[in-house]
Structure 1
Amino acid sequence: MRSAHTVACGLLGATPGSRLSCGERQEAWGWRGRTLGRPVTGPYGAGWLRVVQSPLDKAIGRLWTGPEDAERLVPRQVPRPGLRLVRQWVEGGNAYKAELYDHAVGETISPTPALVTADPPLAAPWWSDLRTALASLSTVHTDRTAVRQAYLDRAMPHYLAFLDGPVPTAPSSWSTAHGDLHWANLTGPELGILDWEGWGTAPAGYDAALLHAYSIGMPETAERVRRELSAVLDSEDGRFAELAVITELLQSAERGDNVELVPALRQRAEEVWHRMIADGAARTR
């Protein structure tokens, strides 16, 4: 991937960021080494060059085209670095794609999706901007899919079998979501939302539920998320979205991802489920 990043610099006329020597380059690795990003200076000034690798037969579909689709379709009211240039090439049976972005304002809030060491000191305007961005994104029309109904039908009964009673698998509504809204994809102190590979339709409230799930290991931040995004999380849509998200994270924990969150995720699922039952009982009275 480092060699591919060097190739990408040549294709896009970029050089490593001027403040960094070759041995000191900041690196941002994606899930299991599939992507590598570094700061660069390019044709548009300071930027960020991200390289994606995929087996040749899988270099298609929503994950491969997500950033370009977002650049075309998602309004600028959703703050994110602009995508300037894209180049693709094939080498050794793999496809590579180079994406040159404007440099993000601020810094990523966490090096990992889940908060594990500190509660981020985010001011009220950051949260207000996040609510505005998610509301704007939710109305974007797209044929992209972030979460499939077939997955919910299959996975929710299996991974939520510890709950008391059959769990519904069909959300009451769908909307457009970022699909991977965690702390490593958010910047501060000024809001920026990174990594638009997997955006598309999902159960309404999905992004808020995902951010809460990745905060659950830090109780103060989890409480802040619940308070700041209460209009979503305290709704019928939000409760279903939490169960859908917890399903996904419990499944990914079987592959070794965020295993430390499992006890808290299971406890949260029980809390949400009991509230859903209580809400249903109240509606029938």
Structure 2
Amino acid sequence: MRAHHAHTARALDVQVEPGAEFWGWAGRTLGAPARTATGAPVWLRLVSAPEDKAAGKLWDGALDAQHAFGDLDGHRPALLAVHDAVDDGTAYRAELSVRVDEPVLSGDPILQHDLQLPDSWWKELAGTMEKVSAVDTDRVAVRQQYMERAIPEFVGIPAPAVSSWTTAHADLHWANLTSPLRLLDWEGWGQAPEGFDSATLYAYSLLKPDTAARVRAVFPLLGSPAGLAAEATVCAQLLQTVSRGDNLTLEGPLRDWSEELRRRQSA
């Protein structure tokens, strides 16, 4: 990965800054800050996959997002260039993006500390997510078949009817957000039940009740009949991860949330 990252930097005529590298899950991605020949700060991210798996939603997510959203009024780091290569059965895709220098709001997707964010930040977030939801796409982030299987198993209710399918970032958590507002990591975006992004952010806020309450206030679809399908889907997804040994600190709050969802379904 390091050798291919260095090769790609030369191919794209950027200089990687020494001493800083960031590895993704299971070593699948490698990112590092860099500068262009003119000195502009950029981010060079390399993703790898077996050659026969180098396609589909996750592989093309950033490129598709650039075509669909651009820089989203400055709230999404624009993709500047893509470089593809194959070596000995492994495919590599390098993505060169505008660098976001602001730190993410949390080092973990699950919020572990209280945040003091201005009203303007929340207003920008709500407006940005509204723009995302209105984009037309045939990409799919959440499948009806998954909802019909997972919600009964993990939440204990039949999958609620989806009143509206809209476009979602589909990974809206605190490690993908900065202040001033930037939304990072656009691999998995696509169609999902309306309110999916706000339900996701709410779920990752459950350890901090004040922030969770603020999410619900900013996104009033949460708690409404129209939001039930998205909330149940997110709750099921995260309880499924708990069953696999991940996100264990959220187990108690997720159980409480699933109980609330069962009450709402039967009301």
TM-score by length of 1: 0.87
- What is the DSSP-based 3-state SS (H/G/I as helix, E as strand, rest coil) of the residue aligned with 2:191? strand
Indicate the residue corresponding to 1:199 in structure 2.
189
Distance 1:34 1:69, change over 3 A: same
Q: Deviations over 1:43-85 (max 9, x none)?
A: 4610111111112111111111111111111252371011000
**C-alpha contact 2:155 2:262 (8 A) present in aligned 1:** no
Determine if the alignment matches structure 1 residue 49 to structure 2 residue 44. Answer: yes
Indicate the residue corresponding to 2:32 in structure 1.
38
165, 170, 173: which one aligns with 1:179:
170
Determine if the alignment matches structure 1 residue 252 to structure 2 residue 252. Answer: no
**C-alpha contact 1:149 1:170 (8 A) present in aligned 2:** no
**C-alpha contact 1:186 1:193 (8 A) present in aligned 2:** yes
Indicate the residue corresponding to 2:99 in structure 1.
103
Report % sequence identity.
45
The AA in structure 2 aligned to 1:220 is D
222, 243, 254: which one aligns with 1:233:
222
Q: d(CA) in 1 for partners of 2:22 and 2:111?
A: 17
Q: Deviations over 1:202-261 (max 9, x none)?
A: 0000000001111112222212212222x2213222222111001111112233321221
Distance 1:177 1:138, change over 3 A: same
- Range 70-79 or range 120-129, more displaced: 70-79
Aligned length: 265
TM-superposed CA distance for 1:275, in Å, is: 2.8
- What is the DSSP-based 3-state SS (H/G/I as helix, E as strand, rest coil) of the residue aligned with 1:135? helix
Indicate the residue corresponding to 1:15 in structure 2.
15
Q: d(CA) in 2 for partners of 1:136 and 1:199?
A: 13
- What is the DSSP-based 3-state SS (H/G/I as helix, E as strand, rest coil) of the residue aligned with 1:175? strand
- What is the DSSP-based 3-state SS (H/G/I as helix, E as strand, rest coil) of the residue aligned with 2:108? coil
TM-superposed CA distance for 1:105, in Å, is: 5.0
**C-alpha contact 1:185 1:195 (8 A) present in aligned 2:** yes
Q: d(CA) in 1 for partners of 2:25 and 2:145?
A: 24
TM-superposed CA distance for 1:169, in Å, is: 4.2
**C-alpha contact 1:109 1:184 (8 A) present in aligned 2:** yes
Q: d(CA) in 2 for partners of 1:184 and 1:29?
A: 14
TM-superposed CA distance for 1:186, in Å, is: 0.8
Indicate the residue corresponding to 1:212 in structure 2.
202
Uncovered stretches (5+) of structure 1, i.e. residues with no partner = 279-285
**C-alpha contact 1:38 1:50 (8 A) present in aligned 2:** yes
**C-alpha contact 1:105 1:187 (8 A) present in aligned 2:** no
Q: d(CA) in 1 for partners of 2:79 and 2:103?
A: 18
**C-alpha contact 1:81 1:101 (8 A) present in aligned 2:** yes
- What is the DSSP-based 3-state SS (H/G/I as helix, E as strand, rest coil) of the residue aligned with 1:108? coil
The AA in structure 2 aligned to 1:153 is E
Q: d(CA) in 2 for partners of 1:4 and 1:182?
A: 30
Uncovered stretches (5+) of structure 2, i.e. residues with no partner = none
Determine if the alignment matches structure 1 residue 149 to structure 2 residue 167. Answer: no
